[in-house]
Amino acid sequence: MNVRPFVFLAMLLMAAPALGQGFAGLGTAAQGFARPEPGDTLKFPADYGAHPAFRIEWWYLTANLTGPDGTDYGMQWTLFRSALAPETREGWSSPQIWMGHAAVTTPARHFVAERLARGGIGQAGVAAAPFTAWIDDWRMAGPDLSDLSVSASGPDFAYDLSLAAGGPLVLNGEAGYSVKSPEGQASHYYSQPFYAVRGTLHLPRGPVEVTGRAWLDREWSSQPLADTQQGWDWISLHFDNGAKLMGFRLRQKGGGAYGSGTWIGADGTVRTFGNGEMTMTPLREAPVAGRDIPVSWRVKLPAHGVDVTIEAVNDAAWMDVLFPYWEGPVRISGSHSGRGYLEMTGYD
């Protein structure tokens, strides 16, 4: 559940203070846009591509990587699509706006870059087959989602990675229909959590060969947040025993949360779970970008015997972009060990 910064939403709806309507305006009503319906069946490769009738959509890749000396690294490559109107047009009048975020996190540093683009002119876009997602020189491309090459660059970093999926796509929620609130806000949401990664990070001190695991989220919707929700906490965890866990909780304004997630067993069996099954409790807050952010959590999923502590590799994994948020790699200890990613939005 990597909804984020929908810069544009807010940029476009600038008149309304963005956070008054949930993070980055994501709680804003969605007249004219398509709505995710429970019965919709996802079709591939078509659903690798863009869904311009929906207001927001993302291709969200995070990776836990390890250098030759055992150093932990995190990598993020994200392409967001935001539609000002539910239509496609050629040229500058296209209402489709694109935004890219790329990041590399080391235990000591956090590198971020952001890209913005208009649709309709070729600067950014997504083609379903052969699969290509791009914004400027950043690319995530392959014949399909099981075999990807990913690259991005910023002023002080760049990376070039190859990803090979060791398992099938995982549909979250009910066959890819993921409910976000008791009022019924929902998205279409599937993941590819089985990537093995190999490649090079280009950092100020020179290139670093890395290997690791990556997680791709694909999600599209028109109003993923209820008016009463102010942000979310999201995790994707790779346990060392081969099991994986995706879970999120959407925080209500004034307390309370709505959560759900997906458990992927070491044998590949997938079980989704609803509100109340998983608990996330902040353990430690760190001062980041002038606010306190919970960078360590206790996560419990009793149905699968999970009781772990997750701890940020780098507390300062702050995405200082148009609509800033926290996103970074975590280490897992407790009932299970492993690596994963944590994302937190709406902390002011």
Partner 1 sequence: MVRATLAALMAHWWRHPLQLVSLAVGLALATALWSGVQAINGQARDSYDRAAQLLGQNRFARIEAADGQRFGQARYIALRRAGWQVSPVLEGTWRDGDRRLRILGVDPVTAPPGAVPQTVTGGAGLRPFITPPGLAFAAPETAAALEPATGLPELRATAGLLPGVLVMDIGIAQNLLSAPGAVSRLIVAPEQPMGRPPLAEIAPDLVQRAPQARADISRLTDSFHLNLTAFGLLSFAVGLFIVHSAVGLAFEQRRTMFRTLRAIGVPLAVLTALLAVEMLMLALFAGLAGVALGYGIAAALLPDVAATLRGLYGAAVPGTLNLSPGWWLGGLAVALVGATAASAQSLWRVWRMPLLAPAQPRAWARASARSMVAQTGIAAGLALAAVALAMWGQSLVAGFALLGAMLLAAALALPGVLSALLGMAERAARGPLALWFWADTRQQLPGLSLALMALLLALAANVGVGTMVASFRLTFTGWLDQRLASELYVTAENEAQAARLREWLAPRSNAVLPIWSIEGSLAGAPGAVFGVADHATYRDNWPMLRMQPGGWDRVARGEAALINEQLMRQAGLVPGDMLRLPGGHTLPVAGVYSDYGNPRGEAMIGVDLLTTLYPQVPRLRHAIRADPAQAVALARSLVEEFGLPPDNVTDQARIKALSLGIFEQTFTVTAALNVLTMGVAGFAMLMSLLTLSTMRLPQLAPVWALGLTRARLARLELVRAVMLAALTMLLALPVGLLLAWALLAVVNVAAFGWRLPMHLFPADWARLTALALLAGGTAAAWPAWRLARTAPADLLKVFAHER
Residues that bind partner 1 (CB under 8 A): 8, 11-15, 84-85, 91-93, 95, 97, 113, 116-118, 121-123, 134, 136-137, 153-158, 202
To the nearest whole angstrom, how small is the minimum distance from the Cβ of residue 20 to partner 1?
15
To the nearest whole angstrom, how small is the minimum distance from the Cβ of residue 111 to partner 1?
10
To the nearest whole angstrom, how small is the minimum distance from the Cβ of residue 135 to partner 1?
9
Closer residue to partner 1, CB minimum distance, 203 or 299:
203
Residue 27: left (phi > 0), alpha (psi -120 to 50), or beta?
A: alpha
Q: Which helix (H) or strand (E) holds 116?
A: strand 110-118
To the nearest whole angstrom, how small is the minimum distance from the Cβ of residue 150 to partner 1?
15
Closer residue to partner 1, CB minimum distance, 97 or 179:
97
Burial category of 219 from C-beta neighbours within 10 Å (exposed 0-12, middle 13-18, buried 19 and up) = buried
Contact criterion met (CB below 8 Å) for 34 and 86? yes
Contact criterion met (CB below 8 Å) for 81 and 95? no
To the nearest whole angstrom, how small is the minimum distance from the Cβ of residue 129 to partner 1?
20
Closer residue to partner 1, CB minimum distance, 153 or 275:
153
Closer residue to partner 1, CB minimum distance, 28 or 172:
28
Closer residue to partner 1, CB minimum distance, 13 or 127:
13
SS (H, E, C) 267-311: CCCEEEECCCCCEEEEEEEEEECCEEEEEEEEEEEHHHCEEEEEE
Residue located via tokens 């099991």 = 243
Please say whether the dihedral angle defined by the alpha carbons of residues 218, 220, 225 and 230, taken in this order, is positive or negative: positive
To the nearest whole angstrom, how small is the minimum distance from the Cβ of residue 53 to partner 1?
16
Contact criterion met (CB below 8 Å) for 239 and 140? no
Contact criterion met (CB below 8 Å) for 65 and 163? no
String of DSSP letters for 215-263: EEEEEEES--S-TTEEEEEEEEEEETTS-EEEEEEEEETTS-EEEEEEE
To the nearest whole angstrom, how small is the minimum distance from the Cβ of residue 112 to partner 1?
12
- H helices present in the chain, as ranges: 7-12
Separation of alpha carbons 171 and 178, rounded Å: 9
Separation of alpha carbons 316 and 80, rounded Å: 23
Closer residue to partner 1, CB minimum distance, 88 or 335:
88
To the nearest whole angstrom, how small is the minimum distance from the Cβ of residue 118 to partner 1?
5
Closer residue to partner 1, CB minimum distance, 12 or 164:
12
Closer residue to partner 1, CB minimum distance, 1 or 117:
117
